């Protein structure tokens, strides 16, 4: 049997339940879910099904009383200073490794935050809200507040829904809602509208890919969304993941399966992972150090696979998760 390398610290967020945080001065580990009382991953029970749970990260439970906000969390990011920002139903939450605080709007108002991203070149934190988006800045008193970019949005595009995706790229900051894709270049906002609706968007190796209902997979090229060859395979599917698999292929995930895409054709991904996803449903995924891939699922926790599609680890209830729905995940700056 192949040895299983320890999983690096992973940040998870769950759409519901509670949250946890950095364990002392150890590498960052944030799992926004519920650890079973008195249980940690160091004494986890047997793995889920026939899959392995060795090398689990340490989990520590933090109740809602500790952070004082909603149990609904949608996205997470770490800035250049190591501060953690969580998109929460009550606002944007900041965590410095010791304490939590809620960041409010300019008029001390709370707001539902759906997405968060950090522009590593400037260190600025951008957030997507319900019908609004913008960034965090310090006011005259030195307090961090939310600065809306709504005044820069063209008047005919002011009506839009939740901004579920925020991405910082070298071409600008993208904000994706159901029918609108916005790009902020620091001076103005450009808008791409889609009556049928956008699905997801993915920054991949200096490219920006967008999945749209009825159209499939497209790429932003010179301020134009261009359909990719064979991309209409996704026209009736919900894309959840796009990762560069090697020099010529991408790994693309939909709700219940993974595929490889070579620039023209989609092929089912090899290995045992698709059987797992058919039961637990994919919600997202990221690369880990060592070319392993962490997959977030709707009902199966987190699965760690290799590039051959073999499941190396499942982080589920026996690791301490009470709610197996993972909405988002990322690694910390230390990997």
The parent domain of residue 119 ranges over: 10-237
The CA–CA distances, whole Å, from 180 to 116, 149, 162, 165, 174 equal: 17, 15, 10, 11, 10
**What is the SS3 assignment for 42?**
helix
Specify if 129 maps to a domain.
Answer: yes
In a domain, 37, yes or no: yes
Say which range, 108-112, 199-203, 240-244, has the weakest mean pLDDT: 108-112
Residue 90 lies in a domain: yes
Q: Looking at per-residue confidence, does 268 or 75 come out higher?
A: 268
State how many domains the chain has.
1
Token pair for residue 246? 């090697």
Q: Which of the pair, 101 or 278, is modelled with greater confidence? A: 278
Question: Long-range contacts: 129-132, Cβ < 8 Å, 24+?
Answer: 129/162, 129/163, 130/161, 130/162, 130/163, 131/159, 131/160, 131/161, 131/162, 132/163
Residue 99 lies in a domain: yes
In this prediction, residue 1 carries a pLDDT of 40
* Spatial separation of the C-alpha atoms in residues 9 and 124, rounded to whole Å: 24
pLDDT at 318: 81
pLDDT of residue 252: 98
DSSP-derived letter for residue 6 is P
Contact 202, 219 (CB under 8 A): no
Does some domain include residue 117? yes
pLDDT of residue 264: 97
Most confident of 23-27, 48-52, 182-186: 182-186
What's 194's domain CATH number?
2.130.10.10
Q: Please tell me the least confidently modeled range out of 69-78, 145-154, 236-245, 280-289.
A: 69-78
Q: Does the pLDDT at position 24 exceed 90?
A: no
Strands (E), 162-238: 165-169, 172-176, 180-184, 189-193, 198-204, 207-212, 216-221, 224-227
Dist CA 175 CA 264 (whole Å): 27
What is the pLDDT at residue 10?
55
Helices (H), the chain: 64-67, 273-280
**What pLDDT is stored for residue 312 in this prediction?**
92
Task: List Cβ neighbours of 109 (8 Å cut-off, separation of 6 or more).
Answer: none
Longest CA–CA span in the chain (Å) reads 61
Decide if 110 is inside a domain.
yes
Q: What is the arithmetic mean of pLDDT over 135-163?
A: 92
Is 185 part of any domain? yes
Which residues are CB-neighbours of 64 under 8 A, at least 6 positions away? 18, 19, 70, 71
Question: Cα separation of 333 and 325, whole Å?
Answer: 24
29-43 pLDDT tens trace: 333 333 333 333 333
Residue 145 is assigned to a structural domain of this protein = yes
How confident is the model over 70-91, as pLDDT tens digits? 667 888 899 999 898 988 888 8
Question: What pLDDT, on the 0 to 100 scale, is given for residue 41?
Answer: 36
As a whole number of angstroms, the distance between CA 274 and CA 82 comes to: 35
Check residue 21 and give its pLDDT. Answer: 33
Q: pLDDT per residue over 103-129, tens digit each?
A: 876 555 667 899 999 999 999 999 999
């Amino acid at each position: 049997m192949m040895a299983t390398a320890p999983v690096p610290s992973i940040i998870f967020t769950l759409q519901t339940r509670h949250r946890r945080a950095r364990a002392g001065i150890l590498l960052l580990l944030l799992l926004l879910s519920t650890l079973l009382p008195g249980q940690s991953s160091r004494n986890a029970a047997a793995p889920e099904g026939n899959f392995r749970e060795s090398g689990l990260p340490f989990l520590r439970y933090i109740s809602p009383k500790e952070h004082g906000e909603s149990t609904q969390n949608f996205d997470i990011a770490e800035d250049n200073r190591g501060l953690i920002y969580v998109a929460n139903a009550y606002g944007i939450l900041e965590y410095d490794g010791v304490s939590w605080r809620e960041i409010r709007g300019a008029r001390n108002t709370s707001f539902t935050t759906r997405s968060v991203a950090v522009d590593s070149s400037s260190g600025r934190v951008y957030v997507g809200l319900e019908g609004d988006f913008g960034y965090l800045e310090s006011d005259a008193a030195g307090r961090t507040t939310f600065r809306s970019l709504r005044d820069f949005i063209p008047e005919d595009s002011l009506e839009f829904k939740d901004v579920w995706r925020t991405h910082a790229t070298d071409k600008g900051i993208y904000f994706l809602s159901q029918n609108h894709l916005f790009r902020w270049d620091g001076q103005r906002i450009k808008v791409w509208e889609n009556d049928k609706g956008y699905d997801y968007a993915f920054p991949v190796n200096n490219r920006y890919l967008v999945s749209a209902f009825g159209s499939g997979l497209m790429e932003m090229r010179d301020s134009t969304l261009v359909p990719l060859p064979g991309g209409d395979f996704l026209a009736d599917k919900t894309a959840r993941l796009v990762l560069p698999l090697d020099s010529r292929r991408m790994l693309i995930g939909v709700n219940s399966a993974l595929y490889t895409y070579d620039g023209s054709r989609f092929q089912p991904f090899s290995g045992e992972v698709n059987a797992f996803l058919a039961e637990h449903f994919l919600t997202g995924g990221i690369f880990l150090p060592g070319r392993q891939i962490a997959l977030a699922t709707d009902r199966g926790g987190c699965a760690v696979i290799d590039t051959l599609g073999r499941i190396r680890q499942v982080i589920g209830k026996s690791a301490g998760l009470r709610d197996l729905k993972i909405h988002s995940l990322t690694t910390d700056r230390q990997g």
